[in-house]
Amino acid sequence: MKGTLRFLGRYIAKVKLPLALGVLTTLVSVGLTLYTPVLFGRAIDEMVGVGQVDFGVIATLSWQTAVMIAVNVLCQWVSGVCFNNLTFRITKDMRVDMMAKLMRLPLSYLDTHRQGETLGRITSDVETVADGLLMGFSQLVSGVATILATLVFMFVINWLIALAVVVLTPLSLFVARFIARRIHSGFARQAETRAKQTGYVNEMFTHQKTVGAYLGEARAAKEFEEINGEWEKVATKAVFYSSLTNPSTRLVNAIVYAAVAALGALSVTGTLSLAEGLTVGGMSIMLSYANQYTKPFNEISGVITELQNAFVCCDRVRELLDAAEETDEPNATRLVSPRGDIDVKDVSFAYDPHRPLIEHLDLRVKAGERVAIVGPTGCGKTTLINLLMRFYDVDKGEIDVDGKDIRTLTRPSLRYHYGMVLQETWIRHATVADNIAIGKPDATREEIEQAAKEVYADSFIRRLPQGYDTVIEDDGSLSVGQKQLLCIARVMLIKPPMLILDEATSSIDTRTEIKIQKAFGTLMQGKTSFVVAHRLQTVMDADVILVMKDGHVVETGTHDALMAQRGFYFTLFNSGLN
């Protein structure tokens, strides 16, 4: 809990002005609310007292009450605006920090956390935190202030009745604490199950086509029903305890009110000697204060319920923001104008320490060479690419660029000199021109169009409704092949010294692929290029072909040399797996 409060404190410290103004107007509102019964009490005593009623006094008390009510309403409005403002600013800052954090997280975090769960932390969890904070600021502040101020007023009017109220107060606190402890654990499990729900829905929605192709709709519905049933159980339990809050505190409040009424009646009639001197108006004030005093306990208990839920979600937000980032060594240097010599020296790596993947891999690539990486699924081709780009760091050994261990280089400078085209395309919700210029935002329209022409994307782009200014997104508006052409155009635009092409033409028709290969041939001139391929015919002209199997390079050479060896590459080429 302390860690969560310190975490929230960092954000609250940024909104001191609306917080201070909100608290100030809330305190003024509480003071005016509690002073109003005093005016009513005086009016009652004026009307039930002996002699003629002084209507001048009644009129004065009336307009004073009207003014205080008006000021009170204004203060409540100002405090509401302030607390809403600071709550939304806090949650806005949280989401900004979480988005920035996601951009700094290593690939290992994204690989080990479900996408839907992570999205749930940014959306629904932050929303729950906002709801809890809003109730906390608006009702908790006013509730605590009301309780303390009411006690002061009551002790001034009649110390014995006020003391009786204080004696009964721990009963309400005990009930609230008993329920709150059980609510926290219940909402924690509810948040975990809700994240599981979100992750499953996102997974099924994203891969709906695959689910339908394997007739998995009924199975998916059944699995979701089970997850939903689990959520129902934990949510019902959490709601059961939270539902006890209101009736329990109302019972305690009724006891307090009854005690004040009994002692007040005894005092007014003179039966209770220790509390003599209380007037009818004074008793009216005490009953009003008894109601004012007990009401915040009921509200605070509800606030505690919301805060427990908010703190659980806040912990999930904090867990994401506290995750280890992808950082460089303090003395890391920038990679500047590399030639492109790559040395992989006795590299070993595994995602799971108990399941080795790459072991003792050695590789030397000279600047400007075109290197093809081939092999069966799971042999480590994509993993090697991840290591070259430092999406993961090697467990043992080292990878050098121009003789420098890449772990001594800053990641941005290393990746800046690589151009990557993956089999999986990514299209932003932006114009075609902006999508091509992702790696070079300051590119001119002429440069963008030239890059598109070089990858034979210009013709289909010009057929779009607004050409290069057409707003597109990652949906069905473009074919997979067209999206891939745009991704290739991105690399063509920036012309980096080193290239990584991971099945870059897998979704393009044969005729266009021939043209793209020619474009790549031009692009790769003088550049160190790594081409991951399953279709071996596409890499027959590579300078070097690395044949990988079970995390090792088992064969190296040109296509003709490897075919002549009649080894593993020969088997792959003729097996139909390509």
The per-residue DSSP string of 378-434 comes to TSSHHHHHHHHTTSS--SEEEEEETTEEGGGB-HHHHHHTEEEE-SS----SEEHHH
Q: Is residue 337 part of a domain?
A: no
Q: Which of 287, 321, 355 is the last residue of a domain?
A: 321
Q: Poorest-confidence range of 110-124, 315-329, 374-388, 422-436? A: 110-124
How high is the pLDDT of residue 40? Answer: 67
Q: Please, are residues 361 and 344 in contact by the beta-carbon 8 Å criterion?
A: yes
Helix (H) or strand (E) holding 156: helix 141-157
The DSSP-derived string for 465-522 is TTGGG-EE-SSTTS-HHHHHHHHHHHHHHH--SEEEEESTTTTS-HHHHHHHHHHHHH
Same-domain status, 541 and 570: yes
Q: Please, are residues 286 and 161 in contact by the beta-carbon 8 Å criterion?
A: yes
436-456 pLDDT tens trace: 998 888 999 999 999 998 888
Same-domain status, 310 and 444: no
How high is the pLDDT of residue 578? Answer: 44
Helix (H) or strand (E) holding 556: strand 552-557
Mean pLDDT of 297-310: 71
How long is the chain? 578
Q: Poorest-confidence range of 1-5, 392-396, 399-403, 434-438? A: 1-5
Asked whether residue 469 carries a pLDDT value surpassing 70, the answer given is yes
Q: Is residue 252 part of a domain?
A: yes
pLDDT band at 280 (very low <50, low <70, confident <90, very high): low
Q: Is residue 549 part of a domain?
A: yes
How high is the pLDDT of residue 274? Answer: 54
| Closest listed residue to residue 193, CA positions, set 120, 248, 107, 259 | 120
How high is the pLDDT of residue 215? Answer: 66
Same-domain status, 484 and 536: yes
Q: Is residue 559 part of a domain?
A: yes
Take residue 523 and report the two structure tokens written for it.
Answer: 């692009």
Structural domain count of the chain: 2
Asked whether residue 254 carries a pLDDT value surpassing 70, the answer given is yes
Q: Poorest-confidence range of 12-16, 138-142, 574-578? A: 574-578
Same-domain status, 297 and 353: no
The DSSP-derived string for 326-372 is ----TT-B---S----EEEEEEEE-SBTTB--EEEEEEEE-TT-EEE
Mean pLDDT of 537-555: 83
Residue % of the chain over a pLDDT of 70: 82
Same-domain status, 568 and 487: yes
Q: Is residue 333 part of a domain?
A: no
Amino acid identity of residue 403, one-letter, is G
Same-domain status, 382 and 237: no
pLDDT band at 577 (very low <50, low <70, confident <90, very high): very low
Mean pLDDT computed over every residue of the chain: 80
Mean pLDDT of 317-325: 85
CATH number at residue 78: 1.20.1560.10
Same-domain status, 449 and 492: yes
More confident residue, 276 or 314: 314
Mean pLDDT of 176-201: 71
Same-domain status, 235 and 346: no
337-380 pLDDT tens trace: 888 899 989 988 888 888 888 888 888 888 888 898 888 877 87
Residue 153: give the domain boundaries: 2-321
How high is the pLDDT of residue 484? Answer: 81
Q: By 3-state DSSP, what share of the chain in percent is helix, strand and coil, each rounded to 5?
A: 65, 10, 20
pLDDT band at 4 (very low <50, low <70, confident <90, very high): confident
Q: Is the dihedral of CA 474, 478, 479, 485 positive or negative?
A: negative
| Closest listed residue to residue 362, CA positions, set 344, 387, 389 | 344
CA distance 459 to 472: 16
Q: Is residue 332 part of a domain?
A: no
pLDDT band at 58 (very low <50, low <70, confident <90, very high): low
How high is the pLDDT of residue 444? Answer: 93
Q: Please, are residues 37 and 288 in contact by the beta-carbon 8 Å criterion?
A: yes
Same-domain status, 349 and 396: yes
Q: What stretches of 146-305 adopt beta strand conformation (E)?
A: none
The DSSP-derived string for 237-265 is HHHHHHHHHHHHHHHHHHHHHHHHHHHHH
CA distance 296 to 256: 13
64-104 pLDDT tens trace: 778 888 888 898 899 888 888 888 888 888 888 888 888 88
CA distance 174 to 171: 5
Q: Is residue 328 part of a domain?
A: no
Q: Which of 255, 286, 321 is the last residue of a domain?
A: 321
What b/e sequence results for 555-567 when a residue is b if at least 16 CB atoms lie within 10 Å of its CB, and e otherwise?
bebebeebeeeee
How high is the pLDDT of residue 208? Answer: 67
How high is the pLDDT of residue 110? Answer: 77
CATH number at residue 413: 3.40.50.300
Q: Poorest-confidence range of 116-130, 249-263, 275-289, 306-320? A: 275-289
Same-domain status, 355 and 388: yes
Q: Poorest-confidence range of 24-28, 325-329, 528-532, 563-567? A: 325-329
How high is the pLDDT of residue 397? Answer: 93
How high is the pLDDT of residue 151? Answer: 80
Same-domain status, 271 and 365: no
Helix (H) or strand (E) holding 185: helix 159-206
Q: Poorest-confidence range of 106-115, 276-285, 379-388? A: 276-285
How high is the pLDDT of residue 385? Answer: 87
Same-domain status, 423 and 288: no
What b/e sequence results for 235-257 when a residue is b if at least 16 CB atoms lie within 10 Å of its CB, and e otherwise?
bebbeebbebbeebbeebbeebb
Q: Poorest-confidence range of 73-87, 377-391, 506-520? A: 506-520
Mean pLDDT of 307-330: 82
Q: Is residue 278 part of a domain?
A: yes
Q: Please, are residues 337 and 285 in contact by the beta-carbon 8 Å criterion?
A: no
